[in-house]
Chains A and B, each alone.
Chain A
Amino acid sequence: DSGVTQTPKHLITATGQRVTLRCSPRSGDLSVYWYQQSLDQGLQFLIQYYNGEERAKGNILERFSAQQFPDLHSELNLSSLELGDSALYFCASSPPGLRETQYFGPGTRLLVL
């Protein structure tokens, strides 16, 4: 158990819908990262937040957005969902000053029908 929690574990929805994925980092970790794992794209970085501020952005679609709240939990919002958005979404967190040490949550498996 990494100490990073993600909810829900599984999500099934329809095209065009909007969903929110939630991540709680390990206690004391200020950074939260989101990654997407799909058959087409492999495992790719989406976005990073550090203490509430966006720090890095990867290949994140405009239909996707994220935020980190004052209690440091983070949410990834996916809207206007398409079949190709079906993937495993991972959240990770890292301690202050140790960006190279990322602890991954169990992931949220999203299926868009």
Chain B
Amino acid sequence: AQSVAQPEDQVNVAEGNPLTVKCTYSVSGNPYLFWYVQYPNRGLQFLLKYITGDNLVKGSYGFEAEFNKSQTSFHLKKPSALVSDSALYFCVVLEGSGNTGKLIFGQGTTLQVKP
């Protein structure tokens, strides 16, 4: 079975500093990996995905993620954090084939950006 792990429950960053939210994955075959964000009292928003191609994936709101096959990691990064980036971030892997699409979520990492 596919799985993802987010080793940090919370990440604290000062505004303007770079941020990294870590994720490692365990999959058979080629992974389909995603990052989603959940703002307080709101639904889930898609940030970016890696399916194939360039290991550096760019997404919404200035976020990017680096796929590293040798380290089985897919860390989320942003060069300069904003207070408005404070939210709950999920690393996600897709399981299934054909028309089957089961998203497996990590436990989530709360990002706190302080002014």
A→B interface (CB under 8 Å): 2, 31, 33, 35, 42-45, 48, 50, 55-56, 58, 90, 92, 94, 97, 99-107
Contacts and interface: CB of A to CB of B under 8 A. Distances in A.
B103 A45 contact: yes
Q: Which of A99, A103, A104 has the most CB of B within 10 A?
A: A99
A35 B101 CA distance: 12
Contact of B49 (A31, A42, A100, A104): A100
Contacts of A35: 103
A42 B101 contact: no
Given A44-B105, A50-B99, A99 B44 contact: no
The SS class assigned to the A binding surface is strand
Given A90-B44, A104-B44, A99 B99 contact: yes
Interface residues of B, number: 23
A92 B92 CA distance: 14
Contact of B104 (A45, A90, A101, A105): A45
Given A42-B107, A43-B90, A99 B43 contact: no
A50 B49 CA distance: 22
Contact of B108 (A43, A45, A50, A100): A43
A2 B45 CA distance: 9
Interface string B20-40: 000000000000101010000
